[in-house]
Structure 1
Amino acid sequence: MIRGILLVGALLSVVACATQQPRVLSGPEVRSELVGGGFRYSGFGNASGVLFTGHLQILPNGNITFATDSGLHDAGTWRLTGNTICAQFELFLSGDETCFTVKQLEKDKFLTSEGFFLYRA
């Protein structure tokens, strides 16, 4: 009986260690995981309570584009400072720069510090 309890405890420890906790991506990880890829996104913007969904692309040349599912399009530039992505769009946020970090939740699922989920397209 005790041996069975110890075995179950050992197995639970192994499973707990194997479960990766979300963490903020480093600068090199941002480049390898996000740059050059297309993503579906969803999140509530500007504390408005409005759900935004659409497609985002972070291009290697420093350009970034997005389109909402409701038909709005915008483009701008992005830069990486340490592990922080800063983006400035032509229209979004009236052209003000916004900066955020990214956590990897699953292989193809990410969460920005601004509360937007990114799903590899």
Structure 2
Amino acid sequence: MKKVVALAIGIGLILTAIAQAGDMTGAQLKKAFTGTSMTFAGKSGNGTSVYNADGSASIVFKGKPSKGKWRVKGSSICTAWDNIRGGEEGCFTVEALGGNKYRSSNGFTLSLH
């Protein structure tokens, strides 16, 4: 019985590590997203955005342009847009899918260019 419990715990730890393996660190996010443009798509809409090295950003979401700012906070990207979410900052984590493809915790698939 002890061997079965130990095996179950070991499998659980391995699956947790695999699930977390794709989450990007703050340093990885800065390197990947700084100075890039991207297209994104999700259930709530699609668009394009640019994350500039100086922390400024621009987005076109559902056909509407907005200016804003972005930053990395811990292992999340945080954005605040002039006319999205009432200007309130929102943060999300990012999982690397391979190549230039990523998935955000707020439900978008991202393609960096």
Q: Same fold (TM over 0.5)?
A: yes
Q: How big is each residue's C-alpha offset from its partner over 1:37-92, in whole Å with a ceiling of 9 and x where there is no partner?
A: 111110123xxxxxx11111111100111113x53001111121111111111110
> What SS class does the counterpart of residue 63 from structure 2 fall into?
coil
Amino acid in structure 1 at the alignment position of 2:56: N
- Residue 71 in structure 1 maps to residue 63 in structure 2: yes
Amino acid in structure 2 at the alignment position of 1:57: V
How many equivalent residue pairs? 95
Amino acid in structure 2 at the alignment position of 1:42: A
Aligned partners of 1:55, 1:89: CA distance in 2, in Å? 13
> What SS class does the counterpart of residue 39 from structure 1 fall into?
strand
Give percent identity, aligned residues only.
25
Aligned partners of 2:94, 2:108: CA distance in 1, in Å? 9
Q: How big is each residue's C-alpha offset from its partner over 1:12-46, in whole Å with a ceiling of 9 and x where there is no partner?
A: xxxxxxxx97611111100111111111110123x
Which 5+ residue runs of structure 1 have no aligned equivalent?
Answer: 1-19, 46-51
More helix by percentage: 2
Match for residue 54 of structure 1 among 47, 51, 57: 47
Aligned partners of 2:33, 2:71: CA distance in 1, in Å? 12
Runs of 4+ aligned structure 1 residues displaced above 4 Å come to: none
> What SS class does the counterpart of residue 60 from structure 1 fall into?
coil
Aligned partners of 2:84, 2:43: CA distance in 1, in Å? 14
- Residue 36 in structure 1 maps to residue 29 in structure 2: no
Q: CA deviation at 1:106?
A: 1.3
Structure with larger Rg? 1
